[in-house]
Structure formats: structure tokens, C-alpha cells
Amino acid sequence: MKLMDQSAILARLTEIVRTLFDEYDGPVDASLNAKAVKQWDSLANVQFMVLVEQAFKVRFTVSEITGLKNVGELMQVIQKKLGH
Amino acid sequence: MGFDIQTLPWRRPLVPDWNRRYDALWAQLANADQVSQTDAATLSVEACVLANQRLGPLEQIKINKLAARLWKVAASGTLRRVRIAIFGNATLSLFAAHLKGSALARGMLLDTVESDFGTVTAFAMGAAQSTIEGPLDAALLSLDATAFARAERLLDIVKDAEVREAAAERLRALAVGVRTRLGVPVIVATVPAQPEDAISSIEHALLGSPARLVAAVNDEVRRGAEAGDWLMWDAAALAGEIGLHSWFDPVGRHHAKTPFASELCPIAADHLCRVLAAMTGKSGRALVLDLDNTIWGGVVGDDGVDGIQLGNGSAVGEAFLAVQRLALELRRRGVVLAVCSKNNEDVARRPFQEHPDMLLRLKDIAVFQANWVDKATNLKAIADALKLGIDALVFVDDNPVERERVRQQWPLAIVPELGEEPAYFPRLIVASGAFEHLPLAAEDVLRAGDYQATVSRQVQRDAAKDYDTYLGSLQMRMTITPFDRIGRARITQLINKSNQFNLTTRRYNEHDVARLEGDPAFLAWQVRLSDTFADNGMIAVVIVHKEAAVRWRIDTWLMSCRVLERGVEQTIMKELVDLARSQGCEELWGEFLKTERNALVTDFYDRMTFKPVEPAASNGDKRYVLKVSEFALLKSFIEVSQSA
């Protein structure tokens, strides 16, 4: 899972967003956050984070999970964890 | 091969076109109220098939959504509709979503109603109004240790007893309260022990420890289940199988109050669905066993009763004994045993009668189907003989092609994957949960014996209706090569080992085989076959003696029994005839030399449209001839490549 660039990470996150939030048809980019997506409630967020962990084979800490503001920040955390 | 229960390894691997089929199904269900009853039945089966595979995380999410949508289609076809209320003191919504997808994989359509977080007690005690509307089939009570925790002084024998009794009473009050108020059976989950509670090795012997409290709750769950007060879901046992450190995820716990690691939802949900399946009669009722390489090692038709691997003295033989031991244990619980094997019946029965290490005996087998008919057809015959639905059969066969054939014909039959290693067969069969059951009653224990008396053996010879479609889907590719050095050892082995599909049973040693390489008077073929599942390797050997330019004689024709009923012999014959014709040969001669073991091919040349030249000899031998110009093309589903 090393050597993933930003666009590859975003592509994978997009797949997860599209699967989990299948009623959302707006853009998926760094600025996307839960408020913009009707299906993205606190429960869905748990599921979302688990899927991200599985997709990138990483683990998030409690503070990471609670501190994230949008997809862009999530991408940064993932990149950091993948050792970039 | 390892064994990771989290991957649900008994399920078939994901089919390559899963996403396409999913999208198609999803589109058809787009307008729930416009789906006709007939369509609903077909769509339900397809949904089950897509759900009952080794899904990745995203596929799992899709299946959960699909199941939720399918619930809304009023006429649910063959699927059993089940609606349960869920009571817990943690966040169970994610688990509930996965329950729907997992239920689908076991032939059920599930809907869940969750109680508000933290209102369990009030509801059970009658203090809160029920918010649950609509009919229910069951309720789940899933509590974690915090529902019972009460820290008291350690080493106080009186306090220790008080606390444990209070916990057991609380559990009982909740379970009985829910049952009384809802009027449906309650499934009570056992409580896994937190790894953080394992401070010392003597926790269970330490008066007042948290471990003792959890144990007291679980004891009460077991007592109630035994007394028939409620049903039991052994979540603690599952957590143990997975490992407590994986089961409990403190991050998720603190962040979202999830009771266990969320990535374990698929296995946990499947585990509970086993209990629901047992409740609604969806568990396996009969174990249908293949024989060769499933309950013993080797091929009895080729190796003989003495040659099969079974029992003491060989590691492989021990593994197969373990399979038989499991079959007997299941039989003890009322599961009916049946045999479905491609073999001559007398050959297949012999180990049951003669092999000293066999644990299974003929008296244990209710239906014994050993013949050369397609297994999907035989499975139906077994179901009919036992008066069971085909979805009550659990088909256990080491051969992936047979498993796939059965799945294609009977998508709702239970067909666990077995992997490559016989030592894991019993574990996979058990882990599949196919034989999950409720507390047994006396009649269950007697059941297996009853079947024995009533079953009348019947064989269905009519080929399955869409067998051709199946053969086509295998995408078989055959390679025909003249004898060569590389193939020499395997050719010699086949010539000396094959007994059943062997027309003349002539044995040649490696030296003889080497001499045939490049001999212009002979046509000597080694035939290999691969399909979508596997490369089967060398599966046939044909030696033809060009006695005269216009007359060739088939000296040897043998095949591996692994590839029977797939049109292999028809395809080879077509290639042979084509070649004969192109080289000016006018007549092909063939002979059947009868032995103890080759009854299978008695009519081989008749099937190949050869004409007998004389009545069979008194010893059963038969001679045939084919006028090459009169050869009628035989149906074939195999793509052939010939190399010089």
C-alpha cells in the first residue's frame, strides 16, 4: 500500500463514498465533508472509517477519528500513515 | 493453507462478474412495488447467490443495502422473511445492517427493529411503552459486561455471591421481560470477557473479580437455554474463536460505543444468522458426502480397497478419519447421512464393508447414490428419497468442479468450500454453520435412524435440463500432444493405474512408452484439460496402432474419472476420426476387454457410434468397428488445440 499518490488515495476514497452514500451524486474532492452528504450520519461515519481502514490497511486513533474535518484532512492522515 | 474464520472461508470465492450481476439486480429492484411475484422469486435466488460469496468490504455494504431493498418487495419468493427486535446497551445499528446481508446469504430476508439505546431495562420491566410496531419473529438481547458491572470489595465471599446472583437475576429479568412483553422467543447473547480484565491467571478464582461476574452471566444464559426459557447466541464462543484482542476494539468502543470491532460485523452477523436459520428451519438436515478424496484418500476404483488412504499409519489417512468422525457426530444429532459418488456402486460400497479403519458403515448411510450420473441430478434424487428440500442438503465434495455444478443447478443447496487440505475439511464444515441447531429434542436424536427405514433408493437417469449450459460455462480447453519425454512418467502412471475408464487395461512400462514416442506405426496421444477452475493436467491417454493404411486399431483408451460426463471422450474421438480421415484411414477398430473394474466403459464404443462386429465373447469382451465416413458428429463443449 506504499507509494500511493494523492489521486490514487482520492480514487479509492471516492469508491467508498459512492458505495456507502449511494444517494449522493455531488463531487467527491478534498473539501467534501459529512454535512454535505445526507446519508453521512454518525453511524455511517463509523462504517466509513472502518472501510477506509480496510482499504488502506491502516488504523486510526481516537483523536484522529474525532478531529477530521473533511476528505482532504483524511487524505493527509492516510498519506502520513502510509509513510510519505 | 491457513484458516482465517474472519474471511468466511467456507463461502465460495467472489464470482468475477459480481458487480455486473449486482448492478443488474439492483436495477430490477429499483421500483419495489412493480416487481411481480414470479420475478421476485427469481430475483431472490440471485440475491442469495450474490450474498453467499466471500465478499469484500464494499460488496458487503452493497449486499446489506440490497437486502434492505428486497425486504420491501412484498412477495419474497423462496426467501423466509424474519423480523427481529434488537435490544442492547451498545451501538448495534451497524451490526443490524450487516445482519440483513448475512441473512440473505442463508436464504432469509431479515428486517430489524432496534430499541432506543439504554431503554432496555425500562422496557423489559414494563416501565416504558413499546415503540415496536408490526409482527416480530424473535428478539435479540445482546448486552456487554457494563450492563452488570458492580465493583465491590475483593475477597468477600458474601459480596461475591451477591453480585453474581444479582447479575444472573438481572439477565433473567431482562430476557423474560422482553419475551413476555413481545410474545416472541428471545435470543440471548453470551458476553465475551474483556482482555483488559485478564490481570492475573487466577481471575476466575478471585472473589469479586470482573471475570467472575461475566462468567456468572454466561452461566445463566446457558441455564436458561437448557431449560428452554430462551435461545442462545454464543457470541463469547465466537469471540474466542476469533481472538479477544481482535474482537474488542477499544478505539471503536470509545468513539462510537460499538460492542466489538466493526470490521468483524460480517462474521458476527453470519454467526447470529446461523441461529436464526436454525430457528426458521433453514439449517442443513442431511450431509451428502462424496467418497474419493473426501472421506478417504485416493480413488477406490483405481487404488482398490487396500490402496485407499484411511486411518492409522498415515497422516493423510488420519485427516480423512476426522471427516468421518464429524459425520458420525452430526448423525448423532439427527443429521441424515447420504453418499453421492461417481463410482460403480459395488466398488463404492466395498470400503464400507471391508476396510477395517472405516468409521462410517453402510448402516449409517440413508441414501447411497454411487453411479456415473451428474451429481446435481443425484442430489435431487437424494432429496426426493429423504423427502427433504434441496436446500436442506449440505453437499461436501473435494472437487471444485462438482461443487460448482451443484451450485449452478441448485443455488440454494448448501455447498461449503473445502480448500485443498483434507485436515481442514472438518473445520470448514463446522465453521460453515450449516448444521447449527437449537436445543435438541429426543426426536432429533432418533431421526437419523428413522430415515434409514423409510428411504427407498432411487436413481434419476434423466440428465439435468441445462447440463449443456453448464458444460459451456466451464470453458474447457483440451490439448492433445504426441507422447514425449516430459509426459513419459505421467503417461506410464496413468497406463498402470487407471482401472475404471480403461477399455483394454493393457499395461506398459516406461520403456514401452518411450518406444512409442515418434514411432510412425502408432498414434500415441497424451491429453490435457483445463477449465475455469483448474488445470486438470493429463487426463487421458490414447494409443492407436496403424495396422494398415486403411485400418487403424485403438489399442489403448483410458481416462481419469475426474473428468467424466464432460464430453471429453466425444471430443477426443472427433479429433481421432478427423485425423484418420485426413490420412486416408477408412476403418477404426476398437475393443472392450472386460475386467473386474471397467464396467463403466462396457458401452463406450456403442456411445461413440461404433458397430459391434460380432456378439460379445463369453468372457464379456467386445469388438467394434467404425466406418470413418459414417461417423456422426458428437456434441462437444471443448476447445481443442493439437500440437504436431
**Interchain contact, B251 vs A66, CB within 8 Å:** no
The answer to whether residue A1 is domain-embedded is no
E strands, A7-59, in order: none
Average pLDDT value for residue range B490-507: 90
Structure confidence at residue B463 as a pLDDT band (50, 70, 90): very low
Q: Give how far Cα B74 sits from Cα of B34, B69, B195, B409, B635, Å.
A: 10, 10, 45, 26, 44
Q: Which residue of A has its CA nearest to B92?
A: A43
Distance, CA of B149 to CA of B44 (rounded, Å): 44
* Calpha distance B476→B38 (Å, rounded): 34
The cell for B546 is 496403424
- Give dist(CA B188, CA B225) in Å, integer: 8
Q: Is B30 helix (H, G, I), strand (E, B) or coil?
A: coil
**pLDDT beyond 70 at B65:** yes
CATH assignment of the domain containing A25:
1.10.1200.10
**pLDDT at B580 exceeding the cut of 60:** yes
Nearest alpha carbon to residue B480 among B317, B242, B270, B641: B641
Question: Which architecture, in CATH terms, is B286-465?
Answer: 3-Layer(aba) Sandwich (3.40)
Separation of alpha carbons A13 and B399, rounded Å:
39
Minimal CA separation from A24 to chain B, in Å: 15
C-alpha cell at B185: 422467543
Q: How many CB atoms lie within 10 A of CB B202?
A: 9
Question: DSSP strand E in B136-284: where?
Answer: 138-142, 186-189, 231-233
Report d(CA A41, CA B305) in Å as an integer: 64
Instruction: Give the range among B137-146, B460-469, B472-481, B485-494 with minimum mean pLDDT.
Output: B460-469
> What residues does each domain of chain B span?
1-78, 80-279, 286-465, 471-642
8-state DSSP, B283: S
Please write the tens of the pLDDT for every residue from B379-424.
999 999 998 899 999 999 999 999 999 999 999 999 999 999 999 9
Taking only the tens place, the pLDDT of each residue in B245-264 is 999 999 999 988 999 999 99
pLDDT at residue A43 in the model: 87
* Chain A CB within 8 Å of residue B134 CB: no
Q: Does A18 touch chain B (CB under 8 A)?
A: no
**Residues B408 and B430: beta-carbon distance below 8 Å:** no
Tell me the C-alpha distance between B184 and B56, whole Å: 34
Number of domains in chain A: 1
* Sequential DSSP letters for B49-112: HHHSB---HHHHHHHHHHHHHHHHSS--TTPEEEEEEEEESS--HHHHHHHHHHHHHTTEEEEE
What pLDDT does B454 receive? 46
Contacts of A10 (CB under 8 A, 6+ apart): A28, A29, A30, A71, A75
Cβ B251–A20 below 8 Å, yes or no?
Answer: no
Task: Select the more confidently predicted residue: B444 or B609.
Answer: B609
B385: its cell numbers: 428419497
Half-sphere exposure of B193 (CA within 13 A, CB side): 18
In whole angstroms, what is the distance from residue B188 CA to residue B171 CA?
A: 9
CA distance linking residue B109 with residue B115, whole number of Å:
20
Cell 493393457 belongs to B506
Cell of B41: 422469486
Going by pLDDT thresholds of 50, 70 and 90, the confidence category of residue B466 is: low
The verdict on B27 touching A (C-beta cutoff 8 Å) is no
Nearest chain B residue (CA) to A56? B57
- The side-by-side arrangement of strands in the sheet containing B535-548 is B611-612, B622-627, B587-592, B551-559, B535-548, B522-530, B476-482, B638-642
Over residues B445-455, the mean pLDDT reads 57
A46 near B CB under 8 A: yes
Mean pLDDT of the B100-112 span: 96
Please write the tens of the pLDDT for every residue from A29-53. 999 999 999 999 988 999 999 999 9
**B247 vs B261: CA distance, rounded Å:** 6
A75 interface with B at CB cutoff 8 Å: no
pLDDT at residue B120 tops 70? yes
Q: Look at residue B524 and give its three-state secondary structure.
A: strand
CB B238 within 8 A of CB B436: no
CA–CA gap between residue B500 and residue B346 (Å, rounded): 13
**Cα–chain center distance at B586:** 49
Query: In B307-399, which residue ranges form alpha helices assigned H by DSSP?
Result: 315-332, 345-354, 375-386
Least confident of B4-13, B43-52, B140-149, B419-428: B140-149
CATH architecture of B80-279: 3-Layer(aba) Sandwich (3.40)
Is residue A4 within 8 angstroms of chain B, CB to CB?
A: no
Beta carbons of B94 and A62 less than 8 Å apart: no
Residue with cell 460403480: B344
Mean pLDDT, chain B, rounded, equals 90
B284-313 in b/e form (b: 16+ CB < 10 A) is bbbbbbbbbbbbbbbbbbbbbbeebbbbee
Question: Where is average pLDDT lowest: A46-50, B528-532, B537-541?
Answer: B528-532
Q: How many CA atoms lie within 13 A of B114 on its CB side?
A: 15
> Which of B83, B89, B94, B179 is closest to B134 using CA atoms?
B83
The answer, for B62 touching chain A at a CB cutoff of 8 Å, is yes
User: Which of B262, B263, B267 to mutate to probe the A interface, most A CBs <10 Å?
Assistant: B262
Domain that holds residue A54: 6-81
Query: Residue A22: is its pLDDT beyond 60?
Result: yes
CB neighbours of residue B197 within 10 Å: 16
Which H/E stretch holds residue A63?
Answer: helix A62-67
pLDDT category of residue A26 using cuts at 50, 70 and 90: very high
C-alpha cell at A31: 473539501
The domain defined by B471-642 carries CATH number 3.40.630.30: yes
Q: How far apart are CA B338 and CA B381, in angstroms?
A: 11
- What pLDDT does B58 receive? 96
Which of B11, B94, B10 lies closest to B49, judged by CA? Answer: B11
- Pairs of residues, one from chain A and one from chain B, whose beta carbons lie less than 8 Å apart: 44
Closest-CA distance, B200 to chain A, in angstroms, reads 28
A74 in any annotated domain: yes
**Which residues are CB-contacts of B420 (< 8 A; sequence separation ≥ 6)?**
B1
The reported pLDDT for the residue numbered A57 is 94
Are the C-beta atoms of residues B620 and B594 closer than 8 Å to each other?
Answer: yes
Q: Is the ipTM of this complex over 0.90?
A: yes
**Taking phi first (over 0 means left), then psi (-120 to 50 degrees means alpha), and beta for anything else, what does residue B222 get?**
alpha
**How do residues B77-94 score in pLDDT, each as one tens digit?**
678 899 999 999 899 999
Give how far the C-alpha of residue B129 lies from the chain's centroid of Cα atoms, to the nearest Å.
45
Q: Are strands B231-233 and B186-189 parallel, antiparallel or unpaired?
A: parallel
Contacts of B20 (CB under 8 A, 6+ apart): none
Would you say residue A64 lies in a domain?
yes
Q: What percent of chain A has pLDDT over 90?
A: 80
Q: Which residue has the higher pLDDT, B126 or B362?
A: B362
- Using the Cβ of B93 and the Cβ atoms of chain A, whether some distance falls under 8 Å is answered with yes
Residue B377 clears pLDDT 90, i.e. is over it: yes
Task: Residue B93: list chain A partners with CB under 8 A.
Answer: 43
- Alpha-carbon dihedral sign for residues B12, B13, B17, B20: positive
pLDDT digits (tens, 9 = 90+) for B148-207: 877 789 999 999 999 999 999 999 999 999 998 888 999 999 999 999 999 999 999 999
- Judged by average pLDDT, the poorest of B386-400, B404-418, B562-576, B579-593 is B562-576
Instruction: Give the total residue count for chain B.
Output: 644
| The two domains B286-465 and B471-642 share their CATH topology (first three levels equal) | no
Contacts of A53 in chain B (CB under 8 A): 263
Reported as a pLDDT band with limits 50, 70 and 90, residue A84 is low
